[in-house]
Structure 1
Amino acid sequence: MVGIKDIAKAAGVSPSTVSNVLNGKKNVGENTRRKILALAEEMHYVPNEAGKILKTKENKTILFVFSDFDRSFYLNVLKGINDYLKDKEYDLLICTQRSCEKFMRNNMSSGCIILDASLDDATVNRCANEHYPIVVLDRILDSPYVKSVIVDNYHAMCDMVQDIIDRGYRKFAFLSGIEKTTDTLERYQAFRDTLKKNNIHFPQKNYFLGDYREKSGYTAAKILALTEVLPDVLICANDNMAIGAIKAFREDNIRVPEDIAVTGFDDNERAKEFGLTTVTVPDYERGYLAALYLVEALKGKESASMFRISAKIKNRKSVLVKK
């Protein structure tokens, strides 16, 4: 890449003279100015905007890191982020997975919002500092420079499982998401705690590991269909997996909810189509709040390190009243 020193050498002038011309200063003679501008065009000079921003401290770009294009709730989160930032005249830069760390510095962006379980905690903590605040939407980190905006998974799942028990269900299966994520850990813990509270035994053979994608729900349901006795209900850690499970059950002529009930979590746009009982998560609002907290941090305003967003049950026809 051509720099100011290259143009200065070609023009036979000092780098500071080239810099003055390129920055529009009037302290350079007309002939020299024209020569430098002609050389800059001829040599395809591209100004280093990142460096300029760093010097002038005018960077108003927020980075959003995510990784999963298959999960539609990201769009609602993203819309919430964008709506707040647009109103505050910030630009939004979107990045995925491995390429993100090089943008997580204040010569490229002024702060970062992360919704990407594949980005490890060590990287987040390494990049966060007093000049580069970070907001995470998928985990809780012990750092003064990282704020967590997360869903209250635990109480929402407790409420849903208790409602299902109250409807007369006793034999449960559980399909988890990615096991290391806060969402999965909290949802599964709530599930187990609620069963224990009601003195309901949960056989470990009825625990299935998924990855939040529809295919893993489909696979788990196909395995369940091979068992001699179906459980009463399959609790899925998100809607995508629940929808995959319903598709598989339908293929095997297993009726939902007459033969087995199915629940999800998130209330994505397809949940209503499948009549899925689920938990409604306010994704737009958590995106909006994440952007708000990040901008507040950039202004030097302190706030609590964690904010939990409540979620509510959405009852549909995938669960019956058995009593």
Structure 2
Amino acid sequence: MANIKDIAKQAGVSISTVSYALNGSPKVTDETSARILAIAKELHYIPNAAARNLKKQETKIIGVFLTDFSGSFYGHLLQGMKEGVNQSGYDLVVCSGKQSHQLLPQRMIDGAIVLDETFSSEELLRYADLGHKLVVMDRDLNHPNINQVLLDNKAGATLAVEHLIELGHRKLYVVTGPKGSFDSRQRLQAVKQVIDRHPDLQYIEIEGDFNKSSGALAGIQIAQGYSEPAAVFCLNDEMAIGMYDYLITTDIRIGEDIHIIGFDNIEVTQYTQPRLASIDYSKQKWGLLASEQLLKLIAGNDVEHEHIYVTLVKGKSMGAV
């Protein structure tokens, strides 16, 4: 692969002259610049991105770090992020896995949006201390170079459980998310705060994993022990759909014998019969706001932590117990 020295040798000029020409500097005449660019093209020269980024201290690329890409949740989220960065002339690269963490210390990106539990909070604070700009969507971190754009998980979980209690339920199953999930911990904490105010409510916790299969497994457990009307709060919609898909194969009537509510209001919930209740918010707005906040940080502007507010979407066929 040709390098800048090869171009300089063929053009009969210094390396610094080639560098000026490749970067459009007025220090080189138009005639010399055109000749150097023609030779670079002839030699199939590709600029060294890492060296250029180090010199300019910018890449115009934003990194998004996700634990997972599965399910319908991430499409709207990433679309919002893409809108936010593109309108400011930046591009977006989506990453997953611990090896990709090196993009930050190597300064291959100008900043990062993090929704990825493979990052420890200590690691992110270390990067922030080194001057990296970060937006976190899955944890509480206080640092001048870190902005938080978080879902109002506690308000959503409170709405969900109080709705089920208003329907007359006195038996509540809660299907949790992964142990490492910030959102799951926040939602579960709010559930327990509501439960404490209703000592007559029977509470059963089932471990889930934010995917359909864990929702189906929870449905099997509930069906095997079913003896009276019950309510189920799945801490995300993927699990609620998995449970729904299993329970419709049984004699248990969803919306009558069991009421299910999820969290995220993904598109498929509106096509279930009866419609599953859920906690709604704009995934696209969440992504857009995260990218806008990061770009403000990069520009050196003051930013405040943000919350994405949520609402309850009731199941259309859900009646009282």
Q: TM-score range by the shorter chain?
A: 0.7 to 0.9
Q: 2:62 touches 2:90 (CA, 8 Å); kept in 1?
A: yes
State the Cα deviation string for residues 128-183 of structure 1 (Å, max 9, x = none): 24642100111112322211111111122112211211110010111001122221
What is the distance in 2 between the residues matched to 1:111 and 1:216?
34
**Cross-structure match for 1:313:** 312
**Cross-structure match for 1:161:** 161
CA distance change for structure 1 residues 312 and 24 in 2, over 3 Å: closer, same or farther? Answer: closer
**Cross-structure match for 2:271:** 273
Structure 1, 70-79 or 11-20: larger mean CA deviation: 11-20
Provide structure 1 residue ranges, at least 5 long, that are not aligned to the other structure. Answer: none
**Cross-structure match for 1:147:** 147
Q: 1:51 touches 1:107 (CA, 8 Å); kept in 2?
A: no
Q: 1:263 touches 1:319 (CA, 8 Å); kept in 2?
A: no
Q: 1:106 touches 1:132 (CA, 8 Å); kept in 2?
A: no
**Cross-structure match for 1:242:** 240
What is the distance in 1 between the residues matched to 2:134 and 2:151?
17
Q: Secondary structure at the match of 1:271?
A: helix
Q: Secondary structure at the match of 1:222?
A: helix
Amino acid at match of 1:210: G
What is the distance in 1 between the residues matched to 2:184 and 2:67?
17
Task: Check if 1:87 corresponds to 2:87.
Answer: yes
Give the TM-score, by structure 1 length: 0.86
What is the distance in 2 between the residues matched to 1:88 and 1:7?
34
CA distance change for structure 1 residues 180 and 200 in 2, over 3 Å: closer, same or farther? Answer: farther
Q: 2:58 touches 2:109 (CA, 8 Å); kept in 1?
A: no
Give the TM-score, by structure 2 length: 0.86
Q: Secondary structure at the match of 1:149?
A: strand
Alignment length, in residue pairs? Answer: 318
**Cross-structure match for 2:299:** 299
What is the distance in 2 between the residues matched to 1:125 and 1:7?
43
Equivalent positions of 1:1-323 (< 5 A) are: 3-4=3-4, 15-16=15-16, 19-20=19-20, 22-23=22-23, 42=43, 45-105=45-105, 107-129=107-129, 131-203=131-203, 206-229=204-227, 232-274=230-272, 275-304=275-304, 306-317=305-316, 319-322=318-321
CA distance change for structure 1 residues 318 and 218 in 2, over 3 Å: closer, same or farther? Answer: farther
What is the distance in 2 between the residues matched to 1:74 and 1:123?
24
Provide structure 2 residue ranges, at least 5 long, that are not aligned to the other structure. Answer: none
CA distance change for structure 1 residues 230 and 318 in 2, over 3 Å: closer, same or farther? Answer: farther
CA distance change for structure 1 residues 319 and 130 in 2, over 3 Å: closer, same or farther? Answer: farther
State the Cα deviation string for residues 242-301 of structure 1 (Å, max 9, x = none): 000011111223210222111100001111112110100221111111111111111111
CA distance change for structure 1 residues 124 and 2 in 2, over 3 Å: closer, same or farther? Answer: farther
Instruction: Please tell me the root mean square deviation across aligned C-alpha atoms, in Å.
Output: 2.9
Q: Secondary structure at the match of 2:248?
A: helix
State the Cα deviation string for residues 184-218 of structure 1 (Å, max 9, x = none): 11111111111221223444xx2111111111101
Q: Secondary structure at the match of 2:118?
A: coil
Q: 2:229 touches 2:256 (CA, 8 Å); kept in 1?
A: no
CA shift for structure 1 position 39: 8.4
Amino acid at match of 1:170: R
CA shift for structure 1 position 113: 0.9
Structure 1, 276-285 or 15-24: larger mean CA deviation: 15-24
Percent of aligned pairs sharing the same letter: 32
Q: 1:7 touches 1:39 (CA, 8 Å); kept in 2?
A: yes
Amino acid at match of 1:309: I
Q: Secondary structure at the match of 2:267?
A: coil
